[in-house]
Amino acid sequence: MCGFVGIWNKNGKPVDLEQLALANSTIRHRGPDDEGYLLINSNTGRVVSCGGNDTMPGLSLPDINELRGDEFNIGFGFRRLAIQDLSIAGHQPMQCHNSNRWLLFNGEIYNYIEIREELKSFGYKFTSNSDSEVVLASYDKWGSKCLDKFNGMWAFVIIEIEHNAPPRLFVSRDRFGIKPLFYSQCGDGYYFASEPKALIRSELVNWDVNHESAYHYFVHGNLPTSFSGDTMYANIDRLPPASTMTITREKCETCQYWELPEFDGIERNDKDLLEELDDLLVSAVDLRMRSDVPVGSCLSGGLDSSLIVSLINSSLIGGSESRQKTFSAVYDIEGSFNESEHIAKVVNDMSIDDHYTIPTSEGLVEKLNHLIWTQDEPFQGTSIYAQYCVMESVKTSGVKVLLDGQGADELFGGYMPFIVFLRSLGRKKGQMEAWRQTRKCFHIPKTKAMAQYMFSLGMNCLPSGLDGRVFGLMQNARQTRKVRESCMQMDFQNTFESNARASLNSTAGAVQYAGDDLNEHLGKITHGVGLELLLRHEDRNSMAFSVESRVPFLDYRLVDFAFRKCQDGIKIKDGWSKWALRKVANERLPKAIAWRKDKVGFATPESIFIKAAISSQRDMLSSNNLSSSYLDWDRINKTLHEKPDTGESMEMWRRRWRWVNFEMWMRNLKANTGVLKD
């Protein structure tokens, strides 16, 4: 797991090496173990590999500072977090042995051992035990088709420098966008970075707000996703997941190389599916245990993380490591967000060395500026801070790799999407079957099964096409209320109002009832709005503390299984969401965990945290804020000074959070632009 930056001045203008080094130093947290640079003069063909202050001893590379008088119009910087092959053999940028290709690789290819053995059969030789060298050889052998073989997470750039030919860049991002890749095309230059802050702090790119993204954030709390390519910055884009980008001096072409499979229509036996699911989970976790550094896991007390902990424990039995390290967030106040009771059940059931952290409102106030700088873009709530605290605890423990349960809800029907399931069931198998399944939901109060069934029944009874229009009217009414409560400046609001109403169905709010079947709905949150945001937050939080986070549920074989082979009825059954996962977990976990009814997600005492954050920013309560051209701070101040009603909805608290968070984000950017701080 690493980070990189890159500059290509296509007009031949020399790269400012001090600026390149500053950009690379800005993301040192992503890779404190090693530092490397690749400098290219595309006119003369000169290529120089050099190092910096953190370059591993023994490489004998010239220091980048010694080359500041030379002219290079292409420059890349790399920061390494050493996970596989900790020696200097894993140094990057890495050159292919039999060609003038170079690699900058952020991520892990978990099946690199199997691919390496296949490549050896074709005559390839390897000098390291790193997956990076396997990526280079795979591209040399199979070109872009090598991506089909990779089981992992990645964002990489391959630089091709052929004799008497202009340079060519091949850029790729993994299937789900687990690892980030940002770029900007400004004038005659291309700029790349693993995090926007590298481009902004070094002033390679002048930051400005993406107005349309800001509008959707104020109204709905939505953030731009990788699939749109947008960010909260007007002049920085991100490469979408499952995409490649080929860049030459003349053009830049983007291509999607993978998409979610559709259900193949074959009805399968539940027993066979559950056995295959169990085998895939074991394999996915085993692959992600490959590491030359200590591995731990998150434990929230819910089904997903507990199942991973159980699978890891099984793989450790008889091994050199007898006790697994887990990391949890608990609280010193009572509430549904406090998972300490459920975490204890898992810890007591297995031989686990549990490390827990207690996020507090005081801690949030103390770390808020760093948290906002870490995340790069405004975010939606304070659960991000709880995860930040967990990652800080991981770093303190000495663990460098962490397994986490992201993706299980999206694949197997979490978040209780009963309305989609019941609507689909009513259309496919009739209302009597839908009603029978509704009655089985009554044992889970949070599903509000009767209301959801009646809504789905009413929508199904409408003439074809009218149900969509009814939902559209509901969304428009919701939009009107949210716009009114968002406290935007009228000029800014009016600029985007008509476009926003026209594109309502593309917002995260519309996804709640999207699709005519469960797999379609889950596909939209797996490879669209939803999961990608969670992965983005996890990447920033983990890498802020030089920790690599791995997500076994997003093994592409498991995802293929969940969408190609699993029909709706094995994901939701007898009133239980994630039924298939629960059945597998039933053999591995305490029943109280496998069949929990009250899991609330990675929640925090949000109203307490948000109130503390607002109270700490008293100087913000004016109309002279950086965000004043977007937000009406006079109206906001009246709202913030109102004594909160104990019955206020969480949406009200989150709206207040968005105002403060957005202003702090802008201040943070202004304070850090062009300034390097340790």
Whether residues 70 and 137 share a domain: the answer is: yes
In a domain? residue 333: yes
Please state the domain count of the chain. Answer: 4
Query: In whole angstroms, how far apart are CA 31 and each of 27, 272, 300, 512, 568?
Result: 7, 43, 27, 38, 42
Cβ atoms < 10 Å from Cβ of 426? 22
Which residue, of 495, 518, 541, is where some domain finishes? 518
Distance (Å) of CA 219 to CA 160, 167, 508: 45, 44, 11
Domain end call among 203, 229, 256: 256
Residues 590 and 610 in one domain: no
Decide if 290 is inside a domain: yes
Instruction: Please state, in angstroms and rounded to a whole number, the distance separating the CA atoms of residues 636 and 540.
Output: 30
Nearest to 620 by CA among 669, 666, 655: 666
Q: Is residue 85 part of a domain?
A: yes
DSSP-derived letter for residue 147 is: G
State the pLDDT confidence band at 467, using cuts at 50, 70 and 90: low
Cis status, amide bond into 93, omega within 30 of 0:
yes
Question: What is the C-alpha to C-alpha distance for residues 284 and 275, in angstroms, rounded to an integer?
Answer: 14
Q: Within 205-294, where are the H helices?
A: 211-220, 270-287
As a whole number of angstroms, the distance between CA 371 and CA 367 comes to: 6
**Does 88 lie in the same domain as 59?**
yes
* CATH at 193: 3.60.20.10
pLDDT tens-digit series, residues 365-400: 999 999 999 999 999 889 999 999 999 999 999 999
Q: What is the CATH number of the domain that holds 583?
A: 3.40.50.620
Does 626 lie in the same domain as 640?
A: yes
Q: Residue 144: how many CB atoms within 10 A of its CB? A: 14
Q: Which residue has the higher pLDDT, 201 or 187?
A: 201
Same domain, 562 and 483: no
Sheet containing 548-550, strands listed edge to edge, beginning at the edge strand earlier in sequence: 352-357, 324-329, 295-298, 401-403, 548-550
The number of C-alpha atoms within 13 Å of 502 and in the hemisphere containing its C-beta is 4
The secondary structure element, H or E, covering residue 189 is: strand 189-193
Give the tens place of pLDDT for each residue, 525-543: 888 778 999 999 999 999 9
Q: Judge whether 396 lies within some domain.
A: yes
The pLDDT score that the predictor gives to residue 401 is 97
Give yes or no: residues 406 and 429 share one domain. no
What is the tens place of the pLDDT at every residue in 204-233? 998 899 999 999 999 988 898 888 889 999
Residue 264 falls inside a structural domain: no
On whether residue 634 sits in a domain, the answer given is yes
Residue at 524 is within a domain:
no
94-95 vs 182-186, strand pairing mode:
unpaired
pLDDT confidence tier of residue 557, bands split at 50, 70 and 90: very high
Residue 484 banded pLDDT, cuts 50, 70, 90: confident
Q: How confident is the model at residue 357 (pLDDT cuts 50, 70, 90)?
A: very high
Q: Are residues 487 and 455 in the same domain?
A: yes
Q: What are phi and psi of 203, to 5 degrees?
A: 60, 25
Structure tokens at 71: 């002219």
- Nearest CA-CA partner of 91 in 176, 34, 25: 34
pLDDT for residue 647:
52
More confident residue, 633 or 510: 633
What integer pLDDT is reported at residue 472 of this predicted model? 56
Both 571 and 650 in a single domain? no
The last residue of a domain, from among 232, 256, 280: 256
Q: How far apart are CA 365 and CA 388, in angstroms?
A: 13
469 and 376 inside one domain: no
Q: Which residue is associated with the tokens 């920033």?
A: 540
Same domain for 370 and 327, yes or no, is yes
Q: What is the DSSP letter of 58?
A: T
> Do strands 168-173 and 2-9 pair parallel, antiparallel, or not at all (unpaired)?
unpaired
Q: Is the dihedral of CA 249, 38, 6, 113 positive or negative?
A: positive
Give yes or no: residues 63 and 189 share one domain. yes
- Quick check: is 186 catalytic? no
Range of the domain at 481: 416-518
Q: Is residue 512 part of a domain?
A: yes
Same domain, 147 and 92: yes
pLDDT confidence tier of residue 506, bands split at 50, 70 and 90: very low
